[in-house]
Structure 1
Amino acid sequence: MEQFSTMFLSFIDTWGYVAVAVLMGLENACIPIPSELILGFAGYLISAGRMEFFHATVAGMIGGMVGSIVTYYVGSHGGRPFIDRYGKYFFMKKSHVDTAQRWFDKYGVKAVFFSRILPVVRTFISLPAGFARVNMKKFIIYTFLGSLPWTMFILYIGWLLGDNWKSMLAVGHEASLIVATLIVLICLFYFIRYKRNKKRL
């Protein structure tokens, strides 16, 4: 993995936003490339003045959305039997697919939103959504809304850490929990605000 990581970083260093989009697309297509590696390094390049935060966010989101949609269609057209038989050739672990399936079975299409900030599940949740052939419009909206805070957060942390951006690779799961907590707090804030405004009317 170390050898591949060096290759990925060199790719981003040379091709910039295009590389970020391509790698995030692969990551969301269930290829095991840590988004912390891609976006963390992009964040470092932002701190070095070689990228812009907005453009890096757009590149990451475009790649992530395309990869998620492709994976959705693989799931919807191939089904679980296809993934069980051929997934191993694309580095898809059955245990990871099972975990994503449990989340989807429990929370339905809403899992597409919440799982985008969770380790492992965020990459594989598109498959069970495809298996179930959920409404494509809902899938795209939930994927976008769930992926945006994660993409921006990791870019921002890489930007803040600068030369020390690699330290986030060791705390990837903890980063997911931080983002999840922030989103829950923000949702709670707006829910309480909505209730208070409704009472005043």
Structure 2
Amino acid sequence: MLTDVVNFVVDTVGSLGYIGIFLMMFLESSFFPFPSEVVMIPAGYLAYKGEMNIYIAIFSGILGSLMGALFNYFLAIKLGRSFLVKYGRYFFIKEETIVKMEEFFKSHGHISTFSGRLIPAVRQYISFPAGLAKMNIFVFSIYTTLGAAIWVIILTLLGYYLGDNELLIKEYLRYIIIGILILLAVLGFWYYKKIKKSS
């Protein structure tokens, strides 16, 4: 099943090119539950085969992620929390998720936007509390772009160097996610100590 999905994405990206990467990463970064792994890894593989420019592919992925995040950001500002709670369930967004994201954002400040982009099942929703809190859009864009860039580059390089070896990609990706979570935990601890010391 996964192989069929990956083949479909490879065909789609191959036919639509960089626009296809942008559109799919836009969807992945907004409220639509679309995994970035099945977009950027095939894009990296196509770059390895010489059918794409790896730098333009990465740029398209980052730009799509940023635009999708901004879509959620403005959606939260325009519609407000009550609307998201009422209708979010139709887009797989539970009220508990919104509440948790708000609490996470308030507790950890702007750094939550950066770290949230690197956490599975969180990166799609981290823009909502930022929008509800009306975070400075320039600061939001910078943190979002940095977080998205790291993730997009990792996935693209996996596809470039490992090609279509699905089992090896899964194994490496698992280790990478664990490593990222550990680094974020260290970063969070450092940030907490810094805030505690300054207060």
- TM-score norm. by structure 2 comes to 0.81
Q: Give the stretch that moved more between structures: 171-180 or 98-107.
A: 171-180
How many Å separate the matches in 1 of 2:13 and 2:54?
Answer: 15
- Residue in 2 that maps onto 1:123: 124
Gapped runs of 5+ residues in structure 2? 188-199
Is the alpha carbon distance of 1:78 and 1:66 closer, same or farther for their aligned partners in structure 2, counting shifts above 3 Å?
Answer: same
**Alignment CA distance shift 1:145-1:73 (3 Å):** same
Evaluate the alpha carbon distance shift between residue 18 and residue 109 of structure 1 in structure 2; reply closer, same or farther with a 3 A threshold: same
Which residue of structure 2 lines up, in the alignment, with residue 76 of structure 1? 77
Partners of 1:173 and 1:76 in 2: CA distance:
35
Q: Which amino acid counterpart does residue 114 of structure 2 have in structure 1?
A: F
How many residues align structurally?
186
- 1:17 paired residue number: 18
Say if 1:17 and 1:59, in contact at 8 Å, map to a contact too: yes
Letter in 2 for 1:135: N
Counterpart contact for 1:24–1:35, Cα < 8 Å: yes
Other-structure match for 1:109: 110
Q: Deviations over 1:123-165 (max 9, x none)?
A: 1100010111111111011111111111111100111111214
Letter in 2 for 1:51: M
- The one-letter code matched in structure 2 to 1:123 is Q
1:127 and 1:151, CA in 2 relative to 1: closer, same or farther beyond 3 A?
Answer: same
CA offsets, 1:58-93, max 9 Å, x none?
Answer: 100111111010100011111221112222333334
Matches within 5 A, 1:84-99: 84-99=85-100
Q: List gaps (5 residues or longer) in structure 1.
A: 187-201
Aligned residues with identical type, % of pairs: 31
Paired residues of 1:39 and 1:151 also in contact (CA < 8 A)? yes
Whole-angstrom distance in 1 between the partners of 2:175 and 2:85:
30
| CA RMSD after TM alignment | 2.7
Of residues 81-90 and 152-161 in structure 1, the stretch that sits farther from structure 2 once superposed is 81-90
